Amino acid sequence: MIPQEIRDTQNQGDFSLGKKQVVIAPAQGREHRSYYLNMGPQHPAMHGVIRLLLELEGEKVLDADVEIGFLHRAFEKHAETEVWNNVIPWTDRLNYVSPLINNVGYCMAVEKLSGLTVPERGQFIRVIASEISRITDHLTCVGASAMELGAFTVFLYMIEGRELLYQCVDKLTGARITTSYTRVGGVKGDLPAGYDEMVLGAFKKIRALLKDVDGLLTKNRIFMDRVNDTGTLSAADALAYGVTGPFLRSTGVPYDVRRAQPSLVYDRLDFEVPVGSKGDNMDRYLVRMAEIEQSMRIVEQCLKLIPPGPHSLEEKELIEANVMVDEGKKGMTGKLWDMRANVDPTLEGGGRGCASGVQAAAPAYNLPTKEETYGSIEGLMRHFEIIMWGRGIRPPKGESYAAVEGGNGELGFHIYSDGTDRAYRVRCRPPCLYIMTALPKLIIGGSVADIIPTFGSVNMIAGELDR
C-alpha cells in the first residue's frame, strides 16, 4: 500500500516525481528501487480532474491509489434544497455526455413515488431521447480513447457522428447538451415535425462512419497490441465491485437494466445485449461499438411503433405567443381559449394539442400549457402554484428507487419524501464510481502505457463521481 505521507503530497505537475523508496533487498548485489509518480490531476488522458498516484518499478505499476475528490458538485445536497422539478437541470450535469438518460432516471423515481403513469407516446419519446444520448456517449468514449492512442482520424469521424446527433437533440429539446427535457409526468414537448426523417438520415451517415472506424481500428495491429489483454477484469471481480454497464458486459455477464428491469416500453422492443468474453480493453471497445448499432435499432423501432401525435393546425387557429401573452395581461382571454400559441422552437410541442400525449393527466404535477396559462385564470393560478417555492408538486411521504441503463451502467436514484415541496433525501448511484473503485485492480501489474487505453475504456465522467 502506498504510504500516507506519499499519498498526501500534492505535486503540481502532471508527471511529478515523488520520494524514492527501497522496496526489496538487492539481488546479486544490485539494488531494486520503486518510485512514485503523479498522473493527474491535470493530464490530457484523465478525462477530467482525477489523480492517480502510481508506485512504479521502471515501467511496471506496482501499486496505485485513485483520488476522485477534485470535482465535488454536491448533487445530492443540491437536490435536497431545491423543489422537485428544479432538480432536473442538476441531473443534466451528472453525465453531461448523455444527459437525457439522467433526466429520465430522476423523473421515474419521483413518478414511482407519486403513482404517475406517463402516456404511451411520452414513454416512446423518452426511449428515443435516451438511446440517442447513449449513442453520443459511446461515440465520444471510443473516439477520445482512440485519439489518445494516436488514432486522431477516428476521433474526427466519431465527433462528426456525434455532431449529427447533437443537432437532433437540439431540434428536440432546444439545447445540445444540458437539455432539461424530461418532466415529472412526461417530457417537455412532443416530437417536432419531420423529426423521424432527421434522425434516420443521421443514422445512415453514422453507420457509414462506423464502418470506416471499424476498418481503421478493429484489425489495426497497433491498436490491437495496445488493447488486447490489457486492463483485464474478471466477471467475478466485476460483480464483487458492483460494476455494471459495458464494463460488466465485456466480462460476459449480460446484465442490462433495460432487460433485467424493463421500464417505459423497452419490453416491447427487439434488441440484443452485446457481451464480451475476456473483459479486456478490446472487449469493451467491441461492446460499445455493438451497442451503438443496437441503440439505433431501438430508435428505429420506436419511430415505427409510436402512437400518432397531434395533427398540424390550420393557420387561422394559430396566434403568436407574444401576442397571446399581451392579450392575456389585458384580460382579453375570451377569444384566446380556442386559439393555439405559435411558439419558438424551444417550446415547440408543448401546446394544448400535444400535452395529453406526452404528459400524465395530473394537473397537480404538470405545468399548464401556454394557452391555458394565458387564456384562463385557473391555468394562471395553477402555473403559479407549481412554480413558486413553498408550493410546487408534493409527492406523498415515502421512498422509491428507480434505475435506468446509463451510458456507463446502472444509474439509480433513491429518493425519500417527507411530503413537502422538496426531497428530504436524495441518493444517486453513479455507475462510474464503482468502476473507479476497481481501477487499481485493472492497472496494477501492467505498464504505464497500459493505463491510457484502460482509463479511456472506463469512460469516466467526473460529474458522476460526486462523493
Rounded Cα distance between 30 and 259, Å, is 57
Which domains are present in the chain? 4-67 (no CATH), 75-308+395-429 (1.10.645.10)
Which letter does DSSP use for residue 87 in this model?
A: G
C-beta of residue 100 within 8 angstroms of C-beta of residue 181:
yes
Closest among 62, 71, 4, 72 to 35, alpha carbons compared: 62
User: What is the DSSP-derived secondary structure letter of residue 328?
Assistant: H
Rounded CA separation 132/353 (Å): 25
Q: What is the phi-psi region of residue 295: left when phi exceeds 0, alpha when psi lies from -120 to 50, beta otherwise?
A: alpha
Contact 132, 99 (CB under 8 A): no
Angle of helix 120-148 versus helix 448-458 axis, rounded to 10: 170
Other CB atoms within 10 A of residue 254 CB: 12
DSSP H stretches of helix in 82-194: 88-92, 99-114, 120-148, 152-173
Pairing assessment for the beta strands 425-429 and 410-417 based on DSSP bridges: antiparallel
Provide, for the chain, the percentages of residues in helix, strand and coil under a 3-state DSSP scheme, each rounded to the nearest 5.
50, 15, 35
**Full pLDDT tens readout for the chain, 467 residues:** 666 655 555 444 443 434 444 444 455 666 678 889 888 788 777 777 888 999 999 899 999 999 887 888 888 999 999 889 889 999 988 888 999 999 999 999 999 999 999 999 999 999 999 999 999 999 999 999 999 999 999 999 999 999 999 999 999 988 888 888 998 988 988 898 889 999 999 999 999 999 999 999 998 999 999 999 999 999 999 999 999 999 999 999 999 999 999 989 999 999 999 999 999 999 999 999 999 999 999 999 999 999 887 644 444 466 666 676 666 666 666 666 566 666 666 666 666 667 777 888 888 888 888 777 777 788 888 888 888 877 788 999 999 999 999 999 999 999 999 999 899 999 999 999 999 999 999 999 999 999 999 999 999 888 888 66
Secondary structure class of 321 (helix, strand, coil): helix
Q: Determine the residue type at 38.
A: N
List strands edge to edge, sheet with 410-417: 398-405, 410-417, 425-429
